[in-house]
Amino acid sequence: MSNETVLILNNVKAGYAIKRKFIDAVSSVSLELFHGEIFGLAGESGCGKSTLLRVIYGFVEPPLQIMEGSIILKTKNEKFEINKLSIEELKKRVWWRYITWILQGAMNVLNPTMRIQDHFIEMMMLYSNVDRKEAYKFILEYLKSLGLPKEVASAYPTQLSGGMKQRIVIALALLFNPLVVLADEPTSALDVVTQRVLLEHLLSVQKEKRFTLVLVSHDMDIHGVFTDRIGVMYAGKIVEIAPTKELFSEPMHPYSKALIESLPRVGDKTIRKGLTGSPPDLSNPPPGCRFHPRCPYAMDICRKEEPPQITIDKNRYVSCWLYTKR
Amino acid sequence: MSLKINFSKSSLMPLMHNIIERIILMLFTIWTGLTIAFLVTRLSPRNPAEQLLSRIIAAGTFMRPEEIEAMRSTIMELFGFDKPLWEQYIYFLKSVLSFRFGPSLLNFPVSANDIIAVYMPWTIFLMLMSTIISWVIGVVVGIFMGIWDKKKGIRVVEYMFIVVFPLPYVVLALAFLIIFVGILRIYVGVAYITHLTFSLETFLAMLSRAWLPAFSIIVLSIVNWAMGSLALARTAKKEPYVFYGVIRGLPTTALLKRYVGKNVLILQITALALSLGNIFGGALVTEYIFNYPGLGTVLYNSIVSNDFNTMLGIATYSILGVTIASVLIDMIYPFIDPRVRYGGGE
Amino acid sequence: MEEVNNMVKYLDMKISIAIIIALILYSIVVPFTKPYDPRAWNVVPRDQPPSLQYPFGTTSTGQDVFLLTAWALRNTLLLGTIASIMLVLISFTIGSIAGATRNALLRAILTYLIDSFCIIPFLPILIMVASLWRERLGIIGTALIIAVLGWGGQSRNIRSVIMGLRERTFTYTATFSGYSLFKTIYKSYLPYIVQWLSVAFIFGIIFCTGLETTLSVFGITSLENPTIGTIIFWTREYQAYLRGLWWWYTFPLIFFIILLASLYIIVRRLVSIFIIREV
């Protein structure tokens, strides 16, 4: 992990306009991502993680809208203001070159009527000027470098197991050596053993190629083992950002505390406590801090005003009234 | 471990088993269809032999009562009407196997086979040409419409198709007839060649009579195929792998061809095969309306005159066509669709 | 924008329903007001173009087109509806049993029966049967033979739908929870069945109407009871289109096209509503 910033989100507000309501899925999110780090985005289903990825990537189509804020991608030579670029421009200049997106449910993202090699060749011919033969040779080498057997190339997706398909998807994502890789739940729907193998594969490739990986998962175990830093999301807001070790040893935000404390530990036989209640309706979120209805430490001010993002330390931020100096 | 790849080219062994089952079922079905057709023909309260007899008497010279009797029994014998029903049935089944359907009542003494043989090329020419042209155009149009289905122009076209789609073919055919012949005064050729060869002359002669009926079929069929492909394309658009293609920056043309288009095409090929199987049956109305010299006209005439042999002959071809086409496509389909050919990996 | 789309979606269905109701009213009310026997000929002067007295003109058989169209619509709709009901009943019964039964033999027999009826060239056979029994077939008779010969396709359809339902998870859930077959059908399948029946019924009207019209154009049905098809037949007999009697065939055809298009739009919308509910 270096100190070069690669992605800056500044007070981003985005959501879905459905029927007459507005679902506030990403609410005043500010974030900085550094070159070569593995950043985990944690939180329960429906908290806005996937929407945040979509917004970062720039695939914003109705009913999704960006209301405020900016998303800036910094490459060596250029700066892209992603929220200002149209999808056509993003397709031409940014997507797959500098930033890649691994979708949730990646089992089904490969075209069942195309061979694996054609998926890759298609991308190469789209983005560069090689002819088919050269592309094909390159693909074989590339797959080999990622540890994939060469029989995979001529296979159809239905012939491959889930884990293998996922590795292909990862290989596709890394084809042009992107700067940032957004991975949305890359391992759910796989069994635990495959999950582990896959993530370790992803980790080793990341170490080698040094891209920034944004790993979205609701599974805290994965975050604990594989990430450098974690951002905890709740109800569309980032409530805490911390280096992984510190988050696990000393969670600050009450929600993070609950998440960490619910994890089983070796040797500890006390009963795990969960949180009561359920996440709020994002079309009508509670006033003040969105977590206050479920928070054991809720104070008066929590019900009235939203807490600001407080800098505790370098790379340590919390959004909670407990930590303001009064 | 779960990183295995499944290379079973042998979905082949169970496939063999399946094929044999299918063929047996197919034979049973053909047999049932033919039996139904046979029974329906024998439902007639009218006696076709008598009709033929009266025609002969009316056309020819005076015959003495004994001669009429002799003629009657000859006719009965020739057509098997003197035998009990089940014997007629056995005889019919035999004739199916040998493809010789006996003398045609209407065109006596020409055999049903000969009549069919003469008119079949005309029907095949018309229907084959119409089906293939309309399939190609219809599916492509449907895919385009499916991909850009929110655009205003496409929606207008879609509503136009919606109006045409549910109409019975007769209405459309008559509309064409009225417009072209009645209003525009473009006449259809009346050429008829008995000796057909693979020559330009034959082709042009057939075309001169076939263009208008073909046009009417093609228009309705294009609408049919387009509506079907449109629905399929709309569904295919929502597949995750199409979305994944979009976010990877693939241009719409690529998505058109390799993602949505291929998907729809594979599904529509099955439908095409079944359509082709239906060629013999489909021509009846067209040829009647447009006065086209094909099996449809023959069939109609034979129905009206109770010419069982010809009717059953054509019905046989029709049944065989449909059934064989459907079994064939079932067998070939795995080779077209990679999803079916290779079993799942897990 | 999404909202406008949603409204428009159901707007065409609403318009179609309104049109159908209007057509039904037309076909019931008008004959009421002018009590001529629809089968009678030479009731009014022949070949008159549209005028105030005869808003749709008159035919070569001496009938008022305005009245004739109303009767034709009535008979066509009636026949189509009756035939469709019969057809759906037959195909549903056979197809759903074929799909739901666990008895392999029964399923094989029914499947084979369904397939057999699917491959027979039913138009020629229909024409055959209709022409043989022409005198005896009224509206109900014609509807009956259409249903009896044409049920194959829908049967295949419902069979695969039911088979699909059986494989769905909620069936296993129901079975493992101890639901009897009947209860399973009632609670889990019923909504799907109702949906299928309504779609099949309306589609059936379109299909059977088409068949009846075809038969009539061939002149095989009982030609005195006017339907749209018989009107077409008579216009051909009297060469209406060569003699410039455009009103005789144009008005009935326009109503016919509007009728079918409306029915079809309703079916399409129903299908899309059901699919949305599914998702």
High-pLDDT (> 70) share of chain C, %: 87
Summarize pLDDT for C26-53 with one digit per residue, the tens.
888 887 777 677 677 777 778 878 887 7
What is the SS3 assignment for B78? helix
The per-residue pLDDT for A2 is: 63
* Segment A72-100, tens digit of pLDDT: 998 888 888 888 888 888 888 889 999 99
pLDDT, residue C1, reads 42
Cα separation, B127 vs B210, whole angstroms: 9
Residues 257-296 on B with a CB inside 8 Å of C are 280-281, 284-285, 288-289
Tell me what percent of the residues of chain A surpass a pLDDT of 70. Answer: 98
| C-chain residue closest to A19, CA distance | C3
Residue of C nearest to B325 (CA): C119
Q: Is the pLDDT of residue A4 over 80?
A: yes
What is the pLDDT at residue A221?
A: 86
Enter the tokens of residue A317. 């931020």
Among partner residues B2, B7, B244, which is closest to A103 by beta-carbon distance? B244
Instruction: Return the pLDDT at B344.
Output: 46
Residue pLDDT, tens place only, C215-243: 888 888 877 788 888 888 888 888 887 78
B126 close to B283: Cβ distance less than 8 angstroms: yes
Q: Give the separation between CA C7 and CA C18, rounded to whole angstroms.
A: 16
Q: Which of B171, B178, B323 has its CB closest to that of C119? A: B323
Beta-carbon separation of B5 and A152 below 8 A: yes
In terms of pLDDT, which residue wins out, B47 or C14? C14
Kindly report the average pLDDT of chain C as a whole number.
Answer: 82
Instruction: Give the CA count within 13 Å in the CB-facing half-sphere of A278.
Output: 4
B342–A163 C-beta distance less than 8 A: no
User: Which residue of chain A is at minimal alpha-carbon distance from B246?
Assistant: A91
In this prediction, residues A263-270 reach a mean pLDDT of 75
- Are C264 and B165 within 8 A, CB to CB? yes
Nearest-neighbour CA in chain A from B22: distance (Å): 25
Task: Name the DSSP class of A316.
Answer: E
| ipTM here | 0.87
A252-256, B103-107, C46-50, C265-269: the lowest-pLDDT one: B103-107
Reported as a pLDDT band with limits 50, 70 and 90, residue A305 is: confident
The interface residues of chain A toward chain B in range 116-175, judged by CB-CB distance below 8 A, are 118, 122-123, 126-127, 149, 151-152, 155-156, 158-165, 167, 172
Q: Residues A193, A195, A201, A204: what is their CA dihedral angle, to the nearest 10 degrees?
A: -110
Position B255, amino acid: L
The one-letter amino acid at A76:
K
Q: Is the pLDDT of residue B2 over 50?
A: no
Neighbours of A45 (CB within 10 A): 9
Which three-class secondary structure state does DSSP give residue A128? coil
For residue B94, the distance in angstroms to the closest alpha carbon of chain A comes to: 46
